[in-house]
């Protein structure tokens, strides 16, 4: 299947300054793991290319016990299970009952049923099975629209997935920091214009922005998304990784994006 569809700080490192980053270990093909089949709603929320971009970015950092904040149908944990040999287990937290059911079904049918679980809960508070400091890595593809901004979506599922109806960015950072062990990492994706909000949210929760990667639709286009990895504790300036151009020639996805897309055999949409 085909995939689902600021100004630079003077203290930010880039290029050779990032040569020791774990991200650079992600250079080879993931091999030939069993392809994924993702079931998701026929209407309302459906996962997008952002999940694919985040999984490819996060995979080299991912290790140990992994927490997905707002797991949806579980696609991020499934992709990371394929891409990250260091991942031991994954827990997805989801507030919406219908998406939770899809995540559980996808986990059961994936071959990773013993490693992946989905739990219902609001990660802004206490969630069964999500103890403070219990996770080595957290990941999230959060709602990208600020609360109270833009047009409201008439579909409740899409509204919650795309706009900060049930969770704001500061609340997301607080939940991630609370869940992480010492030196644990948190990877996420946001629209590029939200870059100025990231560092204040991170600093408040004891997180340090460690790696940034800007996504452009095509070479020459302005940036559209920002991939980020923060670490609990430590010091140092953020390291800016080489930019990612989503599309190459002839309208095709860039090779490293297509590499992750090849993990999919298909996605099934319910008719209901």
pLDDT at residue 40 in the model: 81
Does some domain include residue 246?
A: yes
Does some domain include residue 8?
A: no
Per the structure block, which two tokens stand in for 22?
């774990």
pLDDT at residue 161 in the model: 47
Question: In 10-23, which positions are buried (b, 16+ CB within 10 angstroms) versus exposed (e)?
Answer: eeebeeeebeebbb
pLDDT at residue 84 in the model: 92
182, 233 Cβ separation under 8 angstroms: yes
**Predicted TM-score (pTM) of this structure:** 0.83
pLDDT at residue 113 in the model: 80
Does some domain include residue 1?
A: no
**Containing domain of residue 258, as a range?**
13-269
Q: Which residues contact 144 (CB under 8 A, 6 or more apart)?
A: 162, 190, 191, 194
pLDDT at residue 172 in the model: 97
Distance CA 128, CA 119 (A): 7
pLDDT at residue 189 in the model: 97
Does some domain include residue 54?
A: yes
DSSP state of 34: P
Phi, psi of 78 (to 5 degrees): -65, -45
Look-up: residue for tokens 């003077």? Answer: 10
Does some domain include residue 170?
A: yes
- Give the other-Cβ count within 10 Å of 149's Cβ: 8
Query: Which residues, listed in sequence order, are joined to residue 36 by a DSSP beta bridge?
Result: 264
pLDDT at residue 154 in the model: 52
Does some domain include residue 264?
A: yes
Listed in sequence order, the DSSP H helices in the chain are: 49-58, 75-83, 97-108, 156-162, 169-179, 195-204, 255-261
The bridge status of strand 180-191 relative to strand 225-232 is antiparallel
pLDDT at residue 114 in the model: 84
pLDDT at residue 22 in the model: 54
pLDDT at residue 256 in the model: 87
Does some domain include residue 2?
A: no
pLDDT at residue 92 in the model: 98
Q: The CATH number of the domain where 97 resides is what?
A: 3.40.50.150
Burial of 105: CB neighbours in 10 Å, binned 0-12, 13-18, 19+: middle
pLDDT at residue 48 in the model: 85
Question: In 234-269, which positions are buried (b, 16+ CB within 10 angstroms) versus exposed (e)?
Answer: eeeebbbbeebbbeeeeeebbeebebbeebbeebee
Q: Which residues of the chain have pLDDT under 50?
A: 1-2, 5-10, 16-17, 19-20, 23-31, 157-161, 163, 271-272
Number of domains in the chain: 1
Does some domain include residue 50?
A: yes
Phi, psi of 42 (to 5 degrees): -75, -25
């Amino acid at each position: 299947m085909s995939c689902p569809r600021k100004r630079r700080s003077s203290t930010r490192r880039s290029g050779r300054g990032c040569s020791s980053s774990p991200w650079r270990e992600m250079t080879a093909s993931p091999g030939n793991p069993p392809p994924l089949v993702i079931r998701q709603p026929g209407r309302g929320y459906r996962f997008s290319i952002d999940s694919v971009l985040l999984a490819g970015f996060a995979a080299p950092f991912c290790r140990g016990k992994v927490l997905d904040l707002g797991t949806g149908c579980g696609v991020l944990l499934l992709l990371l299970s394929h891409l990250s040999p260091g991942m031991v287990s994954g827990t997805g937290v989801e507030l919406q009952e219908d998406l939770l059911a899809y995540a559980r079904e996808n986990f059961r049918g994936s071959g990773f049923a013993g490693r992946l679980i989905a739990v219902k809960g609001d990660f802004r508070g206490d969630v069964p099975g999500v103890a403070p400091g219990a996770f080595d890595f957290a990941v999230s593809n959060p709602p990208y629209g600020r609360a109270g901004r833009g047009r409201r979506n008439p579909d409740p599922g899409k509204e919650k997935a795309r706009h900060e109806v049930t969770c704001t960015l500061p609340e997301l950072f607080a939940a991630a920091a609370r869940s992480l062990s010492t030196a644990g990492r948190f990877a996420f994706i946001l629209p590029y214009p939200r870059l100025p909000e990231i560092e204040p949210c991170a600093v408040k929760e004891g997180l340090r922005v460690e790696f940034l990667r800007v996504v452009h639709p095509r070479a020459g286009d302005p940036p559209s998304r920002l991939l980020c990895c923060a670490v609990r504790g430590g010091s140092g300036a953020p390291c800016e990784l080489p930019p990612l151009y989503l599309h190459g020639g002839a309208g095709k996805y860039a090779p490293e994006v297509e590499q992750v897309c090849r993990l999919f055999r298909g996605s099934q949409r319910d008719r209901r």
